[in-house]
Amino acid sequence: MSSSSSSTTHSLALATTYVVVLLLLHVPNYNAQLNSTFYSTTCPNVTSIVRSADQQALQSDSRIGASLIRLHFHDCFVNGCDASILLDKNGTIQQSEKDAAPNTNSTRGFDVVDNIKTALENSCPGVVSCADLLALAAEASVSLSGGPSWNVLLGRRDSLTANQAGANTSIPSPFESLANITSKFSAVGLNTNDLVALSGAHTFGRAQCRTFSNRLYNFNGTGNPDPTLNSSYLTTLQQTCPQNGSGTALANLDLSTPDAFDNNYFTNLQNNQGLLQSDQELFSTAGAATVSIVNSFSSNQSAFFESFAQSMINMGNISPLVGTSGEIRLDCKNVNGG
């Protein structure tokens, strides 16, 4: 090789390196902005305050853990983890995310969020954001129900706006194909392992009949039940949700241990006993990358717990408001002065 072509190659390599470095500089590194010790001096007891309020709520409502983690999930998928889901419709907020299709008459636990916020304001006024409150409540809900613990990264701030249209389009639906759900996760930077691990949150909590009754009687217009539904489980569900019954009646998402956070959800999928279409698809979609992950989590609970904790951290890192963006809401339902 001549010296001129060698120097050209060297120049190209340098230029490529320079471009790669530039690209890396523009990749948002939320881990650097959020950290687990954010409130160590301003509100050192933040974790125990949230955990205590969460524990109190669980004593009178076994569903509340699942409800609180769902609020964090539905928050993070719309404009990032900014507590926009908590804002009521009022003079400042024209359209609330609470009224979006995935949330209306469905999301719950707002009263518990208010109780936690009151406790935080009493101890550390004006310090802890509602977005961080949701992240901490999700972790407490999981660990108090027998699941893993993790160090929640903190430092998010609260939004000044809500995005109802985004809530209608960005939040995964129980009726969607695995391909659609995968792309919604991908759109917020979450991969297939995150999808399967976070779906494992359906190891506790309830779902309304209207979210799965399509599987019981007339699946995809066939006039028959979903063929991937275990026949005895189908009979049980048809008793809970008769054809013209109440769409708001409840069924356990995990038929075996409905209030415990464990890996039984994945064993249920292997037995064709996933409640939602979006659950069962993880195992029953032929050739899907999700199948081997379901099998792994079913056979190894600690592998599931480890992946779940990491995926919760990943989800909590979606587009947080930091620094001087947004605000620290004094009342999670309303923007300050709104």
Return the number of other C-beta atoms located less than 10 Å from residue 56's C-beta.
15
pLDDT of residue 10: 52
Q: How far apart are the first and last CA of the chain?
A: 70
Q: Give the tokens for residue 324.
A: 């001087």
Q: Which of 10, 26, 72, 74 is catalytic?
A: 74
Q: Which residues are annotated as a binding site?
A: 75, 78, 80, 82, 84, 97, 172, 202-203, 254, 257, 262
Return the number of other C-beta atoms located less than 10 Å from residue 258's C-beta.
17
**Which of 297, 275, 135, 265 lies closest to 207 in space, CA to CA?**
275
pLDDT of residue 29: 43
pLDDT of residue 19: 43
265: left (phi over 0), alpha (psi -120 to 50) or beta: alpha
- For 93-113, b where at least 16 C-beta lie within 10 A, e where not — what string? beebbbebebbeebbbbbebb
CA distances from 3 to 14, 140, 232 (A): 16, 64, 76
pLDDT of residue 91: 83
Judge contact between 50 and 109, C-beta under 8 A.
Answer: no
**Which of 183, 161, 140 lies closest to 97 in space, CA to CA?**
161
**Which of 113, 76, 86, 81 lies closest to 321 in space, CA to CA?**
81
**Which of 124, 277, 298 lies closest to 212 in space, CA to CA?**
277
Tell me whether residue 74 is one of the annotated catalytic residues: yes
Q: Which residues are annotated as a binding site for heme b?
A: 202
CA dist 40 and 118 (Å) reads 19
Per-residue pLDDT of the chain (338 residues; tens, 9 = 90+): 554 444 544 544 444 444 444 444 444 444 458 999 999 999 999 999 999 999 999 999 999 999 999 999 999 999 999 999 999 999 889 999 999 999 999 999 999 999 999 999 999 999 999 999 999 999 999 999 999 999 999 999 999 999 999 999 999 999 999 999 999 999 999 999 999 999 999 999 999 999 999 999 999 999 999 999 999 999 999 999 999 899 999 999 999 999 999 999 999 999 999 999 999 999 999 999 999 999 999 999 999 999 999 999 999 999 999 999 999 999 999 999 97
Q: pTM for the full model?
A: 0.90
- Ranges assigned E (strand) in the chain: 206-208, 250-252
Residues whose CB is less than 8 angstroms from the CB of residue 11 and which lie 6 or more positions away in sequence, other chains included? none
CA distances from 315 to 81, 121, 137, 153, 266 (A): 8, 26, 14, 11, 21
Domains within the chain, CATH numbers bracketed: 45-170 (1.10.520.10), 190-315 (1.10.420.10)
SS3 154: strand
Q: Which residues pair with 154 in a beta bridge?
A: 35
Q: Which residues are annotated as a binding site for Ca(2+)?
A: 75, 78, 80, 82, 84, 97, 203, 254, 257, 262
Judge contact between 306 and 185, C-beta under 8 A.
Answer: no
Q: Residue 92 corresponds to which amino acid?
A: T
CA dist 268 and 279 (Å) reads 10
Q: Which residues are annotated as a binding site for substrate?
A: 172
Residues whose CB is less than 8 angstroms from the CB of residue 189 and which lie 6 or more positions away in sequence, other chains included? 314, 317, 318
